[in-house]
Amino acid sequence: MIIYTNEGNPLGLKLLMLAKFAKQSVQLQVVNLNDAKHKDLLVLPTLELDNGQRLFSSVAIAKYLFDEEDQLRDEWLEWSTTLLAPALAHHMAVGHRADPNALPVLNALVKKLDDRLKSSPYLAGNKLTAADISVWSLLAPDGTLKGAQNVDSLRDWYGKVKALPEVQAALAEQPLKDLSFNALQNANRYGGLYHVPLKLPNTADTGKLLAEAASTLADTITDEEINAARAAFTYTEPKKYNEPRTVLPKAGERNVLVTSALPYVNNVPHLGNIIGCVLSSDIFARYSRCAGYNTLFISGTDEYGTATENKALAENMTPREICDKYFELHNGIYRWFGIGFDYFGRTTAQEQTDIVQEAFHDVYKAGFILKESVEQLLCQKCDRFLADRFVEGTCPHPGCGYEDARGDQCDKCGKLVNATELIRPRCKVCNTAPVLRSSDQLFIDLPKAEPQLREWVDHAENGWTNNARVITRAWLREGLKPRCITRDLKWGIPVPHKGFENKVFYVWFDAPFGYVSMTKRYTKDYQQWWQPAKGTEVELFQFMAKDNVPFHSVVWPSVLLAINKGHTLVAHIMATEYLNYEDGKFSKSRGIGVFGNDAQDTGIPADVWRFYLASARPEGQDSSFSWNDLAARNNSELLNNLGNFVNRALVFCEKNFNSTVPEIALTQDELILLALVNRELRGYINSLEKAKLRDGIRHLMSISRHGNGYMQTQQPWLLLKGNAEQKARAATIIGLCVNLACLLANLLYPYMPSTARTLFAQLNAQHTRLNADKPLATLLLRTGHKIGKPAPLFAKLEQAFIDELKGKYGGTQTQAKEENTSSATSQPTNVAELEKAVQAQGEKVRQLKASTKDKAVWQPEVAKLLDLKKQLEAAQKTTTAPFPSDNAKQNGTRSVQELEAAVQAQGNKVRQLKGSTKDKAVWQPEVNILLDLKKQLEAAKKAAK
Amino acid sequence: MCDVAVVKKIANCLGVAPGKVQLNDEQVVTRTIGQNKTVQGFATILESLARESKSEAAQNSTSTKEVKAQVYQWLEFAVLYVAPGSKDKYVSKQLLADFNKLFISKSYLVGNFITLADLAVYYAIYDLMKSLSPVDKENYLNLSRWFDHLQQRPEVHQGEPLLNFTTIYLHGWATGTHI
């Protein structure tokens, strides 16, 4: 038999032991799942039987080798693999996978084992079975029981099993020290067992049995690390750098161009948008500047297109006015979040028109433009071609005939509709019938650019996030098709081509050039960034959410490759997944979630938002915004960990050393701390170089955690009261901690710039450049340096406050709306007044809905209407006006006729509501009332019989 | 899902009375039959059900020692990987790809007949399959074929509406996206 396992996999030991007990000869083969040879292996270890059959479940193997019916044994076997193994994997995990809940779960499992072994010599009874082997082999690696207390029966059993010759033989082949649960990560393609949720037992707390950590981190520090830490901890006079007024790339230096996807102008950005693009890119750009790279950070708003035209119609403004209004909104929000753009521009600038038109000429000359005729509906009254969402008509599907089918889909039968197939189509704006016209459109010939693009993607994609690679590969796999780059609109960049005077460029050919035109607004030498001279290397980092990837990885590079003028192509596509709001989606129309301006209103500082969003950044997979998580991170990470450490260090220095950094004489303890800090520092630099912002925060927090642990074990407050020698020790400790605080201020700067500035002021220190090539902690503040006045950096977020915010942004929206209505109108109270208000509001909603499809526009009014209706309901109740649902509760005995009438009325109401809105939240309550009424009617009928 | 509901469903499939099925203190599914006879653990319960059943799937599952071992490993796989992994985007993608590859050359998970392994994985992967778009279902064609084949059996679907696996759908114009 052959056991295939991976390096360090603890379950390999289990199979080896089982084989020894079954007296089977086996051969152990260490393999790698990434190896093409082993692509058929699903989970390691896998046992290959002599007949060639393969088994990957250790329990299946145990039952196969010891084929007997023993339910108790089987239960323990299953328990060990489905409960114990995942809990151990969670407990031993490092980094972001480490789970603080693992220890209590594991304690409970160990207690169960100990309880069982108190009453029975072996798990399944009086003799040793595969269950004992299975459990033992899980507890042995990583020394889980080392330091455990009050588990004597378990210990006895453990020793008894360990002494068995079969176990000893297995251990001789697979020494325990080589095994660790961390190796499970490479034992399957699912990333180990971390996806198995921890099952927290219902039983009460089992207390502390296992030691907190299997071995102390300090034991793992090598002499080289100590020596490196000692050598690096010296003072170097910081160099003076002149920040150039205009950043330009330089030959022979690292030049980093950072862009954030252009937010569309009429959307109010929510937290997901903010972390996905602007905030991520800002943190990265700030880091890049700290590391001394020539860094330019560009973004702006994307302003052209149908949606803007729409919004302009709805708000009775010109598109330009709409853009001006919303641009200010964006600008204000980003400014509040402390986003340090070098330039934040707009695609409606003249530079954009020049650059796009020039690019079009280049692409046209290079032969990458096709002309094709497309059939579209033209509204002669509005004098424009109608986009799908501007047409309504009768559904063309046989048997449906719904009169208000939209240009893309019929709401009644749900089938997709082609706008040109609608029967009796009508323009949504003016209600006249459009005519079918074929219009010529220009297409970019992507298939022609495809070979070049593929070649480029092959070597460029290494620097991209995984999702960007996958999405791009999916597009390339399907093969590229020509894309239409023109539209029959007015609000856009005119197409400079004969016969296309009335058309504008579509977003494909417009928005991405914004990066170039905004750079041009920043400097007239923009070409140094976008078409650098030979010898100058510009690295382009583009941040975006994953839905924007094809834009940046396929379409725009194709255009630039077609132009063939040596444009800077993206080296790093940093695409995030989506951020959800408390496990749902952000929705402006339903008022769910926190939007840019809301964050400001909460009174929570911008830096805390930045910190939280960066640590919840959806890297690798979707993540959720959660109020509780925000509070927890603020309170435990910022306040109790970072803030506590920094403040304690500074206050000790102020009170005991007269605000002067004391003499530092490093001993082994300090060197171990510095070595640990250097590990994290290296992790921080490596993460940020790859724009892994979440990991960066984790490393930063670990440094402060090490600092806290160090202070806690050294107890300088006791040493200060001791003899001269002890006081000197205390001086070293405080001196080192103040230096660490200064290091932390530097590392914190990209994430929390204003907090870092405050901390620098408290330290009376300057920013020091990070040395990315040699990430080691240095002496930043020499003995004798005077610090400033310490003060707490962070404030606690109380649960009551968080609950309040949770309610406010939780989507019911009523609270916010109530404030609106009560302040705007002098709240009508009597029934007649309310009825009038409801009618007026209803009229308003109908008008709005007729004029625009944009839910964001009419939804708030609908909410107002519903609110008014609710008030009316309440008022009617108090005036004892008959109202079906309420009355039903009051007197259970209503006549059948009464109920029938009520059912009919309510039914009509529901039909109307359903016809007017798709929003389930609106009509569901009414449906519930209806169902309730129907039930009563049934009961009444029965009673009448 | 490898929980109480699935145990009951599979008991139904096998034509066995499930007894009382619930979660114990450790959140492990437990079956109580008769007075005080209990069985713990999803896979162990399923094996006990199979022993009591005369159905085709149960007979198949216990035919030889080799088959029994293979069936068991899929029960464990359903508990450890399929059920919890379906909720994780990364893991679920990999699971779909792995099963799709597996079913290139197989009609059933074990041997060439229906066993408990198919039933356990079927119910464990049901929600994930349900969430797939028509394009995804087409991408995982072999897995879809296996799933569709199983769901046609009345004892498997048990009256639930069948998932749609037809893949005729329409492509619209590819539109650009604003953010």
Instruction: Report if residue A652 sits inside a domain.
Output: yes
User: Could you tell me which of A429, A314, A448 has the C-alpha nearest to residue A383?
Assistant: A429
Do A130 and A21 share a structural domain? yes
For testing the chain A interface, which of B66, B73, B170, B175 should be mutated: the one with the most A CBs within 10 Å?
B73
**Angle (nearest 5°) at CA A915 between A911 and A917:** 120
Nearest to B84 among A196, A201, A508 (CB): A196
What CATH number corresponds to the domain at position A125? 1.20.1050.130
Do A562 and A669 share a structural domain? no
Give chain B's domains with CATH numbers: 4-157 (1.20.1050.10)
For testing the chain B interface, which of A81, A195, A264, A275 should be mutated: the one with the most B CBs within 10 Å?
A195
3-state secondary structure of A936: helix
Nearest to A63 among B69, B81, B177 (CB): B69
What CATH number corresponds to the domain at position A518? 3.40.50.620
Do A819 and A793 share a structural domain? no
CB burial string B79-117: b at 16+ within 10 A, e below: bbbbbbbbebeebbbbbbebbbeebeeeebbbbeebbbb
- Final residue of a domain: which of A215, A234, A269? A215
Do A264 and A159 share a structural domain? no
**Number of domains comprising chain A:** 5
Name residue A736's amino acid: L
Do A285 and A303 share a structural domain? yes
Task: Give the residue on B whose Cα is nearest the Cα of A106.
Answer: B26
Contacts of A74 in chain B (CB under 8 A): 41, 44, 47
Contacts of A81 in chain B (CB under 8 A): 76, 80
3-state secondary structure of A538: strand
Q: Please give the average pLDDT of every successive group of 10 residues along chain B, which has 179 residues.
A: 85 92 88 87 93 92 92 95 88 93 93 94 94 84 93 92 70 44
pLDDT digits (tens, 9 = 90+) for A701-743: 999 989 988 988 888 998 999 899 999 999 999 999 999 999 9
Name residue B11's amino acid: A
Extract the residue ranges of chain A whose pLDDT is less than 70: 94-98, 201-219, 588-591, 811-833, 847-860, 873-894, 915-923, 943-945
Cross-chain Cβ contact B80/A511 below 8 Å: no
Do A767 and A651 share a structural domain? yes
User: Could you tell me which of A661, A651, A638 has the C-alpha nearest to residue A793?
Assistant: A638
Instruction: Report if residue A506 sits inside a domain.
Output: yes
> DSSP assignment of A322-385, as one string?
HHHHHHHHHHHHHHHTT---SEEEETTSHHHHHHHHHHHHHHHHTT-EEEEEEEEEEETTTTEE
Instruction: Report if residue A424 sits inside a domain.
Output: no
Cross-chain Cβ contact A78/B73 below 8 Å: no
Q: Report pLDDT for A223.
A: 83
Contacts of B94 in chain A (CB under 8 A): 189-190
C-alpha count within 13 angstroms, C-beta hemisphere, residue A276: 27
Cross-chain Cβ contact A408/B88 below 8 Å: no
Q: In sequence order, which ranges of A389-539 are alpha helices (DSSP H)?
A: 446-460, 466-478, 513-522, 527-530
Nearest to A307 among B65, B173, B178 (CB): B178
User: What ipTM, to 2 d.p.?
Assistant: 0.92
Segment (H or E) for A627: helix A627-632
Q: Report pLDDT for B101.
A: 93
Backbone phi, then psi, for A431, in 5-degree steps?
70, 10
Q: Report pLDDT for A835.
A: 72
Do A178 and A35 share a structural domain? yes
Q: Report pLDDT for A45.
A: 93
**What's the gap in Å between the CA of A201 and the closest CA on chain B?**
4
Nearest to A201 among B27, B42, B174 (CB): B27
Instruction: Report if residue A398 sits inside a domain.
Output: no
Q: What is the largest CA-CA distance in chain B?
A: 65
Do A163 and A51 share a structural domain? yes
User: Could you tell me which of A507, A456, A453, A460 has the C-alpha nearest to residue A479?
Assistant: A453
Contacts of B173 in chain A (CB under 8 A): 484
Domain that holds residue A856: 813-881
Task: Order across the sheet with A391-394: list the strands.
Answer: A405-406, A391-394, A423-427
What CATH number corresponds to the domain at position A721? 1.10.730.10
Do A469 and A330 share a structural domain? yes
**What's the gap in Å between the CA of A207 and the closest CA on chain B?**
16
- A-B CB pairs within 8 A amount to 139
> DSSP assignment of A27-43, as one string?
EEEE--TTSGGGTT--B
3-state secondary structure of A298: strand
Cross-chain Cβ contact A82/B39 below 8 Å: no
Cross-chain Cβ contact A195/B87 below 8 Å: yes
Task: Give the residue on B whose Cα is nearest the Cα of A308.
Answer: B178
**pTM for this structure?**
0.58
Instruction: Report if residue A694 sits inside a domain.
Output: yes
Quick one: tokens of A282?
């800002």
Nearest to B178 among A51, A83, A507 (CB): A507
Instruction: Report if residue A480 sits inside a domain.
Output: yes
Show Cβ contacts of residue A525 under 8 Å, excluding neighbours closer than 6 positions.
A246, A248
**What's the gap in Å between the CA of A189 and the closest CA on chain B?**
7
Do A585 and A466 share a structural domain? yes
Do A901 and A769 share a structural domain? no
Do A910 and A874 share a structural domain? no
pLDDT digits (tens, 9 = 90+) for A200-236: 766 545 556 665 544 456 667 788 888 999 999 999 8
Task: Give the residue on B whose Cα is nearest the Cα of A475.
Answer: B174
Nearest to B43 among A42, A78, A199 (CB): A78
Alpha carbon distance A156, A163 (integer Å): 11
Cross-chain Cβ contact A60/B76 below 8 Å: yes
Instruction: Report if residue A385 sits inside a domain.
Output: no
Cross-chain Cβ contact B172/A416 below 8 Å: yes
Instruction: Report if residue A224 sits inside a domain.
Output: no
- Final residue of a domain: which of A881, A900, A925? A881
Report whether A24 contacts A1 (CB < 8 A).
yes
